[in-house]
Amino acid sequence: MNTPAHLIFGAAAFGRPDRRGTLAAALAGGLAPDLSLYLLVGWHLLIVGTDPRVVFDELYFSDTWQAVFAVDNSVFVWGALLAVALWRRWPVLVAFAGAALLHIALDFPLHAGDGRPHFWPLSTWVFDSPLSYWDRRHHAEWVGPAELAFCVALAVLLWRRVVSWPWRAVFVLLLAAEALSNNVWLLVF
């Protein structure tokens, strides 16, 4: 899924306006499994000046990058953090870890040829899904619009749930980012 969708899904599932800090934590958790990707790609594209084809065709699949992705996309790492949060009854940490686990669960069936090793440290196996959120060769023309439709519904839910205008603006911006990223992938690929 596109990262803005992960943030919307995470906020809808784990953000509770009546529990201080959970909305921000859910957004952070929705971002967390993709953060290393943004940092690595940003460093190479913006600072080092690496050709985008090298970044996405070679570095993304390198052992070094995959080792990083294995940690921050591990069901076991995030599951352990969620277990601690539930045990200690820390709602902010529950929102953060829960949104990260939801991110991983939603990514699992939507990465064709570019998945992550979600079962590290027990395994480095990567599921090669028949579906993709961005690649038309794997039904992105159906997956992308469905993802966007769910995001619209969840953004409406969040809008109704949250009365704060700054938070509402965040959700509108995330929905706009999702709509733009969704359409861009379908046009590019």
pLDDT tens-digit profile of 163-175? 999 999 999 999 9
The 10s digit of each residue's pLDDT in 114-138 is 999 999 999 999 999 999 988 889 9
pLDDT band of residue 154 (cuts 50, 70, 90) is very high
> Mean pLDDT in the chain?
94
- Residue 152 binned pLDDT confidence (cut-offs 50, 70, 90): very high
3-state secondary structure the chain: CCHHHHHHHHHHHHCCCCCCCHHHHHHHHHHHHHHHHHHHHHHHHHHHCCCHHHHHHHHCCCHHHHHHHHHHCCHHHHHHHHHHHHHHCCHHHHHHHHHHHHHHHHHHHHCCCCCCCCCCCCCCCCCCCCCCCCCHHHCHHHHHHHHHHHHHHHHHHHHHHCCCHHHHHHHHHHHHHHHHHHHHHHHHC
Please report, rounded to a whole number, the percentage of residues in the chain having pLDDT higher than 90: 90
Confidence (pLDDT) at 182: 66
Q: Binning pLDDT at 50, 70 and 90, where does residue 187 land?
A: low
